[in-house]
Structure 1
Amino acid sequence: MSNTIKLPQKLMLLGSGELGKEFVIAAQRLGNYVIAVDRYDNAPAMQVADCAEVISMLSADDLEAVVTKHKPDLIIPEIEAIRTEKLQEFAQRGITVIPTAAATNYTMNRDRIRELAHQELGIRTAKYGYAVTLAELVDISQAIGFPNVVKPVMSSSGKGQSVVLGKEEVETAWNYAIANSRGDSQKVIVEEFINFEIEITLLTIKQWNAPTIFCLPIGHRQERGDYQESWQPAAISQQQILQAQTIAKKVTDALGGAGIFGVEFFITKDEVIFSELSPRPHDTGMVTLISQNLNEFELHLRAILGLPIPHIELLGNSASAVILATEKLDAIVFTGVAEALAEKDVDIRLFGKPTAHPYRRMGVALAKADTVEQARAKATKAASKIKLHSLNQ
């Protein structure tokens, strides 16, 4: 990346969900031109981008056509389900892929990043194994022991994840994981169940020509493998923070490039255990839309463009809570937004997804307060006030 930074640049976003939407907003505030790409029309980021393309990102031909048409300066993947071999080809042709084409290939599947951390870098992870058939899953689950966690090696936002308490639940977990697998993969990972005190995301910002820096750790809670709420700062010790930072830097240094990485950890009474990594803004990091002077999307943009990040400041104890759909809906309208916004230091983001189905994330409530506990309560209360309806009802 050159030391001479010229704006605007042409950015191609592969994946146009709610995280991509916030990134597009950040990019356009600095005058950049953004092409939003996804597998369906009117995805959230498309609604604010300069132009949009609907393609299959698992098709090398579709990717070739859209890159040839638009000639972007940078390609920025927002999802895992991409033909990553094609991204490596683009990189060989001189197009910058964020954070790198090789890193995107590594992190597309949970198996590759787990093996990089555990086998190549010697980092402590949960015990794990893989299965490509139900029979293999039964054998590996028994070898690792119960309870364990089963999930697809490639999925979106934790979908397809189950906690398996005994042998009689293995088949159900297999079916759920395969049904929610993204891309070509029919492979699942089985993990040791870690009895953690808290699960955190450490947003790690890798820069082209400056040191790696970190946001304060973000605590989060999941259900069905998907994030439900997050808060910042997470209540862990300074020693645990330093351990997490050391591990995160080791993994991101191995991946290279620049941008923000969402590095997840299990924090137990005695250990800081690496869990997963996403080479892009993280869903739990949406709390930074209210908690920091620079949110995770602005930090990602600055890092990939080589712009300075002189200071990251926590603006207050903060939390986010998701707004979920409870039924299948088209032509969606929301009620309760005014009631949610009536309380001080509460904000709402509605993502603009064109359709809803049970448990689909449709928005997020954000809150600040004197304590993290108060912020969590305010965000959860605000989210509960917002209801989804069909315009046709």
Structure 2
Amino acid sequence: MLPPGSTVGIVGGGQLGRMMAIAAARLGYRCHIYDPHDAPCAVAVSGSFTRGEFTDQQRIAEFAALCDVVTYEFENVPVGPLAALGAKLLPGTRSLEVAQDRALEKEFLESTGARVAPWRRVESVADAGAAEEEIGLPLVLKTRRFGYDGKGQSWARSQGGARQAYEAIGRQPAVAESGIAFEAEFSVIVARGQDGAVRSFDPPRNIHDGGILRRSIVPGGPLVAGQAEEAKRIAGAIVAALGHVGVLTVEFFATADGPLVNEFAPRVHNSGHWTIEGAKTSQFEQHIRAICGLPLGDPGLVDGSVEMENLIGADVERWPELIAEQGAAVHLYDKGEVRPGRKMGHVTRVGAGAAFTDR
């Protein structure tokens, strides 16, 4: 158990690292950010900053020597330089290795007993055509690495479309997945402590637009509630199989046959931002508790309902009216340049009938 005053190193200086650092400070920890950019937004709320490339093993080792524990805010960082940190890195590199490769991720998920969409590896135009024959249409091709928020994906909806989709993603190694009929998207944010204890938050129903999360709502309605316990069981099996310490997020489709796993992220997640005001322990505090060896906190709701709305691109220009809105908790990430599709902040509303109603 790390005492207050210890230093938590965070690889990555974006908004997730920023909110993690704020949570760590409340518990008396100091944070040290490692990032290749000049002024990442997490630095403004942290005590120390080391600028360096994620591929620079020597620089990362020097940074880690100044920390008592090291974690990461996103999964698209090279495993090799972090592997050298050994037990100081939490979660460990196993979680990164699996999450970084969609084919390995699918195989791993199936090994835990989780249901996933029918899929196959694609490494050539011929593979893409074979996938179309085996899986049927519609299907989606996803690059095996570096895809997020809808990037690195292309759909095939008509005959011969899989080959075209493979061209659209630049002929990169990929997986082909069957298009799934689903009623809702939701996620389970789960934490596993160093002692093996597991706690899950209530699953939010997630509303996307253009592959980017727009809103998360808890409770997520009767459909999500009916699949929540099974989804939590699956999430618990995933963190246990990985030996994961910290927060991990599993994204699900609610289908007629029960919860089906889309993917997982070995970290805190956008769909868990509502927990800052909406839960008794936020996902960020829970992650810090886990990696520092503290007892996990209570993930229960503070009120009957909560909704989180992302501020994407020019949405952030609404900040004056949002700040004036009574009961709205506004989080601005101080990321500088406003760009289409860029997550600039979020606003959370607790209570006031925010719960999702199935229609």
The alpha carbon displacement at 1:151 in A equals: 2.1
Q: Percent identity?
A: 24
Q: How far does the alpha carbon of each residue in 1:178-200 deviate from its partner, in whole angstroms, 9 at most, with x for none?
A: 59xxxxxx322221111111111
CA distance in 1, matches of 2:72, 2:329: 27
Matched, 1:77 2:72: yes
Q: How far does the alpha carbon of each residue in 1:33-67 deviate from its partner, in whole angstroms, 9 at most, with x for none?
A: 2221223221221222222233331x2xx133232
CA distance in 2, matches of 1:286, 1:69: 28
Residue pairs, 1:97-116, within 5 angstroms = 97-116=89-108
Q: Which residue of 2 aligns with 1:380?
A: none
SS of the residue 1:150 aligns to: strand
After superposition, the Cα gap between the structure-2 partners of 1:167 and 1:348, relative to the gap in structure 1 and judged at 3 Å, is farther
Q: Which letter maps to 1:247?
A: I
* Structure 1, unpaired ranges of 5+: 180-185, 327-332, 376-393
CA distance in 2, matches of 1:156, 1:252: 21
CA distance in 2, matches of 1:334, 1:225: 19
Of 322, 327, 351, 2:333 maps to 351
Of 187, 193, 196, 1:201 maps to 187
SS of the residue 2:85 aligns to: helix
Matched, 1:250 2:233: no
Q: Which residue of 2 aligns with 1:296?
A: 283
Q: Which letter maps to 2:182?
A: F
Matched, 1:321 2:316: no
After superposition, the Cα gap between the structure-2 partners of 1:253 and 1:290, relative to the gap in structure 1 and judged at 3 Å, is same
Q: Which letter maps to 1:160?
A: G
The alpha carbon displacement at 1:169 in A equals: 4.9
SS of the residue 1:217 aligns to: coil
The alpha carbon displacement at 1:272 in A equals: 1.3
After superposition, the Cα gap between the structure-2 partners of 1:164 and 1:8, relative to the gap in structure 1 and judged at 3 Å, is farther
The alpha carbon displacement at 1:73 in A equals: 2.1
Q: Which letter maps to 2:220?
A: A
The alpha carbon displacement at 1:167 in A equals: 4.2
CA distance in 1, matches of 2:161, 2:43: 40
Q: Which residue of 2 aligns with 1:261?
A: 248
Residue pairs, 1:188-227, within 5 angstroms = 188-209=174-195, 211-227=197-213
CA distance in 2, matches of 1:357, 1:227: 16
Number of residue-to-residue matches in the alignment: 353
The alpha carbon displacement at 1:277 in A equals: 1.1
Query: Normalising by the residue count of structure 1, what TM-score does the alignment of the two structures yield?
Result: 0.82
CA contact (8 A) 1:293 1:312 kept: yes
Q: Over aligned residues, Cα RMSD in angstroms?
A: 2.5
Residue pairs, 1:57-72, within 5 angstroms = 57=54, 59=55, 62-71=56-65, 72=67
Q: Which residue of 1 aligns with 2:142?
A: 151
Q: Which letter maps to 2:248?
A: F
The alpha carbon displacement at 1:134 in A equals: 4.3
Q: How far does the alpha carbon of each residue in 1:98-152 deviate from its partner, in whole angstroms, 9 at most, with x for none?
A: 222222222222222211111x223211111222344533432343221122222
Of 350, 353, 356, 1:371 maps to 353
Q: Which letter maps to 1:83?
A: P
SS of the residue 2:8 aligns to: strand
